[in-house]
Amino acid sequence: MATQALDIERELSRDEKSGTMHSEHMGGLTEHDADFLNNFPEERKKAVVRKVDMRLIPMLVLLYLIAYLDKTNIGNAKIEGMTDDLHLKGIEYNIVTAIFFIPFVLCEVPSNMILHKFRRPSIYMGGIVFCWGVIMTLTALVQNYAGLLAIRFLLGIFEAGFLPGAILIISNWYLPNETQTRIAILYTSAATGGAFSGLLAFAIAKMDGMAGLEGWRWIFLIEGLFTVVVAVMCFFMLCDSPALSTRWLEADDIRYLELRQLARRSSVPSDYKENDHFNLRLFKDILLDYKIWLLFFANWSNAVPNYAMKFTMPTILRGMGYTSSDAQLMTIPPYAIGAISAYAFAIFADKYSWRAPFILGPQCCLVTAFIILFVKSGDIDNNIAVCYFAVCLACFGMYPILPGVNAWNVANTPDPAKRSVNIGILVCVGNIGGLIGSYIYLEREAPRYPVGYGTSLAFGLAGIIAVVLLETLLKRGNAKKAQMTEQEIRQRYSEEELVRMGEKSPLFKYAL
């Protein structure tokens, strides 16, 4: 049994960087299960994962694409005349973008707790997508500032559950050293959405005057109706779990997918399993965990500048002298660069099972970009090319961060109940960055935006410090755990104690 467990360990983890439970029982696997997992053909393993990729990822990508479009198309509507038609003044536009994040932040953790209890995630995810699609469609009918505030608040409620839910679904299908690439594919749809939204808004805005509607209203109407259609597709096409996928997975494939998840984690701590839902001890464990706090700051190095730029990039580019239509089109290259960057860094991070350097590299690019913008935007007329390059470099740096941070979090949270809440909290706190980002690009500071660029720079630097510190502390933690042999550990702790310790167990090696 011990030999089989070690074979499983080698299969699931190249080294201590990938986050492994060095437990003889490997999450409660029987000897028969361990033998099945060890002898499952290598080529078939790859084929099963490819099959999951083809079934699961495209639907999540499409859903995330529309989530991004529906969340940020207000930036495109702004430069097509929405602020003038609704008579928005001063910082009212900033308030409209910010109010979205209040329910968005507050509902993410409860949403993931609910999703964790759903036997069929497709029902829950399809339901929230349908609701926000209807709300997006109704945005075309708003007539004033109050109406726009209300509709953005409702949109935040229903969009809140998607990203943490999608990451949770991915973590339930894939191993830690497979997650970042998949999260990156998901997240690059946001970058692709950024490029596509500019092109789509450019085309839709040409419908200005049709049926008596302004061009910006058509943006909300068409994109909202498309969301409703995709929501209906989600009910039938989003994969739920291996056990519920008998239509396209063979029995042995299902068993392999389920057993490898059991093998990579410890048994569920008794208190969590007993209650089968979020409880105070779990919440306390998460909030007292230094890892999640450092990941907050790492996440903010993406969230603050990224959300700020999502809502303001068309306006920033128009400040460089481009017309509204050209500014929409000029948003395409930065987002396309961000998509390529996120996927490329994720491939290397998963290949080497090492997160830190593939987060730090992009963070350094982001910091460089905002230094350029902070210095050169004061004389933007003579530095248009340099500033546009910096916008592209900022997107190159921003988009790999979120997949890396979330994959790192998943790899170091083996318990499913804790992971569902952990993901929700990390995404929730990250989106507080969206609330901050909504207020840092002030209309009166255009086109220099010292507060916007300076704040983005500060959060980028803070993120670098957080990642370096987290890597250092995790290495020290692994070194401390390595001081005891497995035999010594088992003599000191009972099996029940090791189970209850979760990732703090000396048998669990932190992912770096």
Instruction: Give the pLDDT of the chain (512 residues) as one tens digit per residue.
Output: 433 443 444 445 444 454 554 444 444 578 888 889 989 999 999 999 999 999 999 999 999 999 988 988 898 888 888 999 999 988 899 899 889 989 998 999 999 989 988 989 999 999 999 999 999 999 999 999 999 999 999 999 999 999 999 999 999 999 988 999 999 998 887 777 766 777 777 788 788 889 888 989 999 999 999 999 999 999 999 999 999 999 999 999 999 999 998 887 644 443 444 444 456 778 888 889 999 999 999 999 999 999 888 778 888 888 888 887 788 788 889 988 998 999 999 999 999 999 999 999 999 999 999 999 999 998 888 999 999 999 999 999 999 999 999 999 999 988 888 888 899 999 998 888 878 888 898 888 988 999 999 999 999 999 999 999 999 999 999 999 999 888 888 889 887 787 778 788 888 889 99
- pLDDT attached to residue 265: 62
Residue 458 domain boundaries:
30-263+277-505
How far apart CA 155 and CA 153 sit, in angstroms, is 5
- pLDDT attached to residue 266: 47
Residues with Cβ within 8 Å of residue 417, at least 6 apart in sequence: 116, 268, 269, 272, 273, 276, 277, 278, 282
Does 268 fall in a domain? no
Query: How many CB atoms are located within 10 Å of the residue 49 CB?
Result: 19
What domain count does the chain have? 1
- pLDDT attached to residue 17: 52
By C-alpha distance, which of 183, 141, 143 is closest to 163? 183
Residue 210 CA: distances (Å) to CA of 70, 200, 206, 214, 341: 22, 17, 9, 8, 39
Residue 148, Cα to own-chain centre: how many angstroms? 26
CATH code for the domain in which residue 164 is found: 1.20.1250.20
How far apart CA 270 and CA 491 sit, in angstroms, is 21
Does 2 fall in a domain? no
Does 354 fall in a domain? yes
Q: What are phi and psi of 256, to 5 degrees?
A: -60, -45
- pLDDT attached to residue 19: 55
- pLDDT attached to residue 130: 98
Three-state secondary structure along 200-266?
A: HHHHHHHHCCHHHCCHHHHHHHHHHHHHHHHHHHHHHHCCCCHHHCCCCCCHHHHHHHHHHHHHCCC
Does 196 fall in a domain? yes
Does 98 fall in a domain? yes
Q: For the chain, give the mean pLDDT.
A: 87
Asked if 166 and 189 touch (Cβ cutoff 8 Å), the reply is no
How far apart CA 502 and CA 269 sit, in angstroms, is 7
251-285 per-position pLDDT tens digit: 999 999 999 988 876 444 434 444 444 567 788 88
Query: How many CB atoms are located within 10 Å of the residue 243 CB?
Result: 12
Does 10 fall in a domain? no
The SS3 of residue 345 is: helix
pTM for this predicted structure: 0.84
Bond from prior residue into 447 cis (ω within 30 degrees of 0): yes
Does 19 fall in a domain? no
DSSP tag of 29? -
Query: How many CB atoms are located within 10 Å of the residue 360 CB?
Result: 18
Does 7 fall in a domain? no
How far apart CA 58 and CA 21 sit, in angstroms, is 31
Counted residue by residue, the chain has a size of 512
Query: How many CB atoms are located within 10 Å of the residue 110 CB?
Result: 15
